[in-house]
Homo-oligomer: A and B are copies of this chain.
Amino acid sequence: MTTSPLLTDLYELNMVQAYLDKNEDGEAVFEFFVRRLPARRGFLLAAGLEDALQFLETMRYSAADIAWLKSTGRFRDNLLDYLRDFRFTGDVHAIPEGSVCFPGEPLLRITAPLPQAQLVESRLINILHFQTLIASKAARMVLAAPVKILSDFGLRTAHGAEAGNFSARASYIAGFASVANVLAGQRYGIPIVGTMAHSFVQVHGDEMKAFETFARARPEGVVLLIDTYDTEAGARKVVELAPHLQADGIAIRGVRIDSGDLTAMSKKVRAILDAGGLKDTLILVSGGINEDVLQGMMKDGAPIDGFGIGVNLAASIDAPSLDCAYKLQDYRGTPKRKLSEGKQTWPGRKQVFRAYNSDGRMAGDILTVEGDRQDGEALIVEVMRDGKRVGAVPTLAQIRERATRDLARLPEPLRQLQTGIDYPVQVSDALKGLAAEADRLTKR
């Protein structure tokens, strides 16, 4: 997953050139946060931190990178020398992956010499924004269809290769069961699943022959796609085929339907399978599934066991981006904030404290400055010091468990698809005081 350090915006290099010219390398504090939620959303699920930390640990400029930068004629030797020896040596604090969090709360804080903190900006946002986007979307699907099997089928219409892999990781964190993308299985250890395409049936021309060939080729976990021509006829063929396969010890684990009215069709297919003695054969569906469709199907009692979810997940169709920022909060011990119209930020190193009700549900967060102790659980923890990881690296399973726990602790209205309330995030007096100080110190 290592990418070129040139995967960055030119302005980062421009600024670092200017900083180096002036030896402007004091300690800088930047925080990454989401400004506001998309419509209908009630919370975020933090994801991407492990990839972000891996990026910071491994970011290096090769001789070829340096030579190319030199060839552009834009940069001077002091910058090229600096990049040649580049290592990220800063500290990182973050809200752990799999945590529920809210707008304004820093998901990640970088404390590092200014040029370092600036150079990592573009790729850090690129990683954290997308994985948090997808984890937050997937969490809605998990909440809409608890106890159902959800699988990420989104690779093909994800936005490029990395989006396919990140989507698998982020949705698994949120509670998805599996993924179709084999590489995500290899890379992250996520269970991989797959059936057949319509082309498989078409190649054989004869649907029955296609089913039998497939079942004998992949005898464990046979799932047959039954909608290439006529779905009910397809289901009847499955019933007809089952005893022949059973005689050879092969069970039909499931059927997949990928078109038509999935709720109505699943009921018809369930009846055909049950009548044919295939009560344990699962019904899996795909095509156009999102959290609203899932909720509707649950309400209508569709006898569906699992869902393959594609582009609605992997491109987060209803809200394909989050309004987010990576902002300077402190430089050389002086708090900083941005005052641009409509984009004001809170300055300083921050901490978030979360209170819980007696039933264990989240009651409210307080956003404050680091060192100002408030009641509740402190969410932001140190994860990297002097460029080296602090503490044990959590497994993906542990991150996923955290998400399951946090989603269960959401206030009930926030577990709905159309949330009617805003979760309370208070700004502490200490933070308001720091903002006033920052304004006083700024020569505008």
Contacts and interface: CB of A to CB of B under 8 A. Distances in A.
A368 interface: no
A172 interface: no
A15 B196 contact: yes
A203 B28 contact: yes
Interface string A302-346: 000000000100011100111010011001001011111111000
A381 interface: no
A10 interface: yes
Interface of A: 3-4, 6-15, 17-19, 21-22, 24, 28, 30, 68, 72, 74, 114, 118, 121-123, 125-127, 129-130, 133, 153, 155-166, 180-183, 185-186, 192-200, 202-203, 205-207, 213-214, 216-218, 220, 227-231, 233, 258-260, 311, 315-317, 320-322, 324, 327-328, 331, 334, 336-343, 441-444
Given A156-B9, A317-B320, A444-B233, A22 B213 contact: yes
Given A28-B199, A130-B158, 18 more contacts: A3-B183, A6-B182, A10-B182, A10-B192, A15-B196, A17-B217, A72-B185, A126-B157, A130-B159, A202-B336, A205-B441, A205-B442, A227-B340, A228-B339, A229-B340, A229-B442, A260-B340, A315-B320
A129 B157 contact: yes
Contacts of A186: 4, 6, 68
16 contacts: A6-B186, A7-B161, A7-B183, A13-B182, A72-B192, A121-B156, A122-B156, A160-B160, A198-B340, A202-B336, A202-B442, A228-B338, A230-B444, A231-B341, A260-B341, A315-B320
Given A217-B14, A328-B198, A340-B259, A182 B9 contact: yes
